[in-house]
């Protein structure tokens, strides 16, 4: 990849290599025992992943001791910031009492009460990860409707399990008609029968979705989506689109599932409140437990009561472990409060509007899409509304932007152009100013990039 870069970008890559020598050493050692030197594919970046060993507040420190203002925040899991003192105290106290019992604890119902009231669901089941949550959600929907097929949207990601690892980053030659996309496997090892049971529709195109649904309506168990797609950067479903999906689900009997793995911790009541539309099932995770691994399947009573011994399987040794349950209670009651979100929304506007101002002043071809505490910059002259428009954005310019921002002590968002920034309770107006000061310098570098890198599906 590096040989394709224009000179200013080569300078930035070389500068990053000089300041992260220990990461390179760690990478070379790790790759002998770990494929690509990482334990999640999304952590690999070119020329090598950066290794971090400490986080506090809005800051991360890498293995070489370099300090960064972190706007990735563990891909949105840390709206509490790193090592929040209230969480640290609560977790240390819980560790002394035990970290996993293999049985239920009294705290579980307290957390269930908090979640049912805050996120407007009747009943909940706890798991550990977002991927587990979406996996179980579609199993529950299939059992509830006694149907096989699930409809998802092109470019949307719902975790790395077979049933939904379809058409997340499909290459152009396999995508098919934009209004009737092919179901494209995202990984070797997924059975063809699984792929056939996952139907793909274009995001934000209600008419095309209706047509596709009509083909499968008698066997359609569920429709699953992120109402704000956050593995396409930051792409909100239009109100008409989200409302239309609710109508389609009602007409066909399909279970409407909102994947709120990210958005449950980015809006006080989650994204359902943002749209004023309720699904049948919600999957909540990431930030709701302050960065500790807890996910929630929540939904209507008649659907959730399909779970149980002799009914729909849902189990896990670490489900509802007292450590993560306590973390979620403290996070939702004491840290991610309505007052906290009110302040964070203001910081979000400050960052997004600052980006827009700099883009205009530098005559840079770029779009900022944002809402609440998250957003993304895409180097394109078109609004990104779905996966096909996402592919029009420049990957070369994004790579220059990302590396140059790291060199200026800012992690702008996740390690791919289709991620987004997250503002935490630990961030300050000064952090926002330093982020924008860095981008003001970086914009000049980005504007000069003319050579392109491989398309987004290769990253």
Q: Is 162 a catalytic residue?
A: no
Where are any strands of DSSP class E within 58-194? 59-62, 67-70, 123-127, 149-153, 176-177, 180-181
Find the catalytic residue in 144, 157, 355, 387: 157
**What is the rounded CA–CA span in Å between residue 119 and residue 383?**
30
401 is catalytic: no
In the numeric block, which tokens belong to residue 81?
A: 């910031």
Quickly list DSSP for 39-78: SSGGG--SS-PPPEEEEEBTEEEETT--EEEESSHHHHT-
One of 259, 280, 386, 431 is an active-site residue; which one? 259
What is the separation of C-alpha 251 from the centre of its chain, rounded to a whole number of angstroms?
30
The C-alpha angle 402, 406, 408, rounded to 5 degrees, equals 120
What's the farthest any 2 CA atoms get from each other in the chain? 63
The CA distance from 12 to 48, in Å, is 14
Residue 157 a catalytic site member: yes
Residue with tokens 């950067």: 233
How far apart (Å, rounded) are the C-alpha atoms in residues 386 and 399? 21
Give the residue among 124, 117, 108 at the shortest CA–CA distance from 300: 124
Distance CA 336, CA 426 (A): 11
Helices (H), 297-394: 301-304, 322-330, 338-361, 387-390
Could you say which of 286, 367, 386, 431 is catalytic? Answer: 286
Just list the catalytic residues: 157, 259, 286
């Amino acid at each position: 990849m590096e040989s394709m870069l224009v000179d200013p970008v080569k300078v930035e890559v070389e500068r990053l290599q000089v300041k992260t020598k220990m990461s390179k050493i760690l990478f070379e050692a790790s790759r002998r025992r770990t494929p690509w030197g990482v334990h999640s594919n999304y952590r690999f970046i070119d020329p090598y992943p950066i290794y971090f060993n400490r986080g506090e507040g809005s800051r991360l420190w890498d293995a070489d001791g370099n300090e960064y203002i972190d706007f990735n925040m563990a891909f949105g899991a840390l709206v509490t910031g790193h090592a929040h003192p209230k969480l640290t105290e609560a977790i240390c106290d819980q560790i002394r009492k035990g970290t996993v019992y293999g049985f239920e604890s009294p705290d579980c119902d307290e957390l269930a009460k908090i979640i049912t009231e805050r996120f407007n669901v009747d009943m909940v089941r706890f798991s550990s990860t977002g991927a587990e949550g979406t996996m179980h959600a579609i199993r529950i929907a299939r059992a509830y409707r006694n149907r096989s097929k699930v409809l998802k949207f092109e470019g949307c990601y719902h975790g790395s399990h077979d049933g939904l690892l379809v058409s997340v980053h499909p290459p152009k030659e396999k995508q098919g008609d934009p209004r009737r996309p092919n179901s494209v496997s995202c990984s070797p090892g997924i059975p063809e029968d699984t792929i056939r049971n996952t139907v793909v529709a274009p995001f934000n195109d209600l008419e095309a979705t209706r047509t596709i649904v009509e083909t499968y309506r008698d066997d359609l168990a569920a429709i699953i989506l992120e109402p704000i797609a956050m593995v396409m950067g930051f792409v909100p479903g239009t109100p008409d689109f989200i409302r239309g999906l609710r109508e389609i689900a009602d007409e066909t009997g399909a279970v409407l599932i909102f994947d709120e793995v990210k958005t449950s911790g980015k809006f006080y009541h989650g994204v359902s409140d943002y749209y004023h539309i309720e699904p049948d099932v919600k999957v909540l995770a990431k930030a709701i437990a302050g960065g500790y691994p807890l996910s929630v399947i929540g939904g209507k009573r008649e659907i959730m009561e399909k779970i149980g011994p002799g009914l729909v399987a849902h189990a896990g040794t670490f489900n509802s472990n007292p450590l993560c349950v306590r973390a979620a209670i403290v996070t939702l009651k004491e840290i991610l409060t309505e007052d906290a979100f009110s302040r964070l929304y203001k910081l979000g506007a400050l960052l997004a509007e600052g980006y827009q101002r700099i883009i205009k002043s530098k005559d840079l071809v770029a779009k900022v899409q944002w809402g609440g505490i998250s957003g993304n910059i895409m180097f394109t002259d078109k609004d990104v509304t779905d996966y096909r428009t996402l592919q029009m954005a420049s990957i070369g310019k994004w790579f220059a932007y990302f590396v140059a921002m790291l060199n200026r002590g800012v992690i702008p968002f996740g390690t791919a152009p289709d991620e987004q920034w997250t503002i935490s309770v630990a961030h300050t107006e000064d952090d926002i100013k330093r982020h924008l000061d860095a981008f003001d310098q970086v914009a000049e570098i980005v504007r000069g990039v003319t050579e392109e890198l491989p398309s987004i599906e290769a990253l």
